[in-house]
């Protein structure tokens, strides 16, 4: 009897040690490849969007789904190639000019601040004014590097787009392979979660693409009207930054405002007005209309997810925080049953009334 107990205890100890080791190895692998996993998640988002488009073309044109996906990809590549052929030189020149003009505009802005008495007083009053000035000079000399990093971003987008095509071409192959890792009794719940997440991500990506296109066009037109240089490039940056909630719009304002303030304070105010009008329309008109068919992401949840993923994976985590939060909400919508909403304004039920209700239900 004692030998049996000892063997059982030893087997439990060995199992716990193996389980702890496995969890530790899995966490270590995830931490090492955290950026790769997020890029894989971005590829899944792209595959969900491509699958949605191919399904729509399959139903409308009565063609095979594979052919519909091929037609959409070919049409997209053709549009991109024509855009590069027609506007590629102009955009390349604008990005090159932006790389040199942004540091120059920042230096000019610093000189304008130092030329006024209030600016000199402000620099003197700030703690460690010399360190602040040196840090500002270092930051503005690194602005060109930010523009150059767009090459790395484009390379990452190409990788994500390629993986999205592979996933969209044979979604069942990859999903069924993952599905086999789940026990049989939980596969039905997994299918429901996957369907919910896919539906949410489809509408989220569609809404983001519409918002990005609207912001890019309006910013380009608005900055051109007020006379800010490189309006097309700044519009593209604003459109791309719209993909990132909370943080993206703030980042997109900085280069445009530096170039505008380098011309005159009035130009800077007009640039701020353009961005304010466009993002007000996007936030209070376009997004609410699009959110009728998608899940509404609470701003606090999105910002918390951005801070968390920023600490884990840096800029890639910030960019993918919103769809990651949407996927989590889609999963929780299936796993957790809905409960009636309770507001803080609702008066609490007195204890006596609660006891009476409980007695009436029992009888």
pLDDT digits (tens, 9 = 90+) for 64-102: 888 888 998 898 889 888 877 876 667 667 667 776 777
Q: Is residue 222 part of a domain?
A: yes
What pLDDT does residue 351 have? 46
What pLDDT does residue 359 have? 53
What pLDDT does residue 218 have? 92
Q: What's this model's pTM, rounded to 2 decimal places?
A: 0.72
CA distance 310 to 317: 5
Q: Is residue 100 part of a domain?
A: yes
Q: Is residue 27 part of a domain?
A: no
Q: Is residue 356 part of a domain?
A: no
Q: Is residue 350 part of a domain?
A: no
Spans of the chain below 50 pLDDT: 128-129, 132-133, 136, 138, 140-148, 344, 346-352, 354-355, 358
What pLDDT does residue 314 have? 80
Q: Is residue 281 part of a domain?
A: yes
Instruction: Pull the structure tokens for residue 322.
Output: 């919103």
What pLDDT does residue 138 have? 47
The DSSP code for 44 is H
Query: Which residues are CB-neighbours of 51 under 8 A, at least 6 positions away?
Result: 69, 168, 171, 198
What pLDDT does residue 273 have? 92
Count of domains forming the chain: 1
Q: Is residue 354 part of a domain?
A: no
Q: Is residue 16 part of a domain?
A: no
Domain residue limits at 159 = 33-337
What pLDDT does residue 344 have? 47
Contact 280, 128 (CB under 8 A): no
CA distance 175 to 159: 20
CA distance 126 to 135: 13
What pLDDT does residue 306 have? 85
CA distance 154 to 312: 22
CA distance 150 to 148: 5
């Amino acid at each position: 009897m004692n030998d049996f107990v000892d063997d059982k205890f030893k087997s439990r100890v060995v199992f716990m040690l193996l389980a702890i080791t496995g969890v530790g190895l899995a966490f270590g692998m995830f931490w090492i490849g955290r950026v790769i996993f997020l890029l894989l998640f971005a590829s899944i988002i792209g595959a969900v969007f491509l699958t949605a488009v191919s399904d729509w073309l399959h139903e409308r044109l009565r063609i095979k789904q594979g052919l519909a996906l091929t037609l959409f990809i070919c049409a997209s590549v053709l549009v991109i190639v024509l855009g590069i052929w027609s506007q590629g030189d102009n955009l390349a020149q604008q990005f090159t000019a932006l790389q040199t003009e942004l540091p120059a505009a920042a230096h000019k802005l610093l000189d304008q601040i130092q030329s006024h008495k209030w600016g000199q007083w402000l620099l003197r009053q700030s703690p460690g004014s010399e360190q602040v000035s040196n840090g500002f000079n270092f930051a503005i000399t690194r602005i060109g590097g930010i523009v150059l990093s767009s090459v790395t971003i484009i390379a990452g987008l190409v990788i994500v787009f390629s993986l999205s095509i592979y996933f969209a071409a044979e979604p069942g192959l990859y999903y069924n392979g993952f599905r086999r890792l789940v026990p049989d009794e939980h596969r039905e719940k997994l299918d429901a979660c996957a369907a919910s997440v896919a539906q949410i991500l489809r509408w989220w990506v569609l809404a983001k693409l519409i918002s990005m296109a609207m912001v890019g066009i309006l910013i380009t037109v608005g900055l051109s009207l007020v006379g800010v240089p490189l309006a097309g490039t700044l519009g593209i940056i604003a459109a791309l930054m719209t993909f990132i909630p909370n943080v993206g719009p703030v980042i997109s304002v900085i280069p445009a405002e530096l170039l505008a303030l380098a011309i005159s304070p009035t130009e800077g105010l007009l640039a701020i007005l353009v961005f304010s009008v466009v993002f007000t329309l996007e936030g209070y008109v376009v997004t609410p209309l699009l959110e009728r068919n998608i899940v509404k992401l609470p701003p606090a949840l999105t910002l918390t997810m951005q801070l968390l993923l920023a600490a884990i994976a840096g800029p890639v985590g910030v960019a993918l925080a919103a769809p990651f939060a949407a996927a989590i909400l889609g999963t929780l919508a299936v796993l957790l049953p809905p409960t009636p909403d309770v507001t803080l304004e609702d008066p609490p039920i007195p204890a006596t009334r609660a006891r009476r209700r409980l007695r009436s239900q029992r009888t």
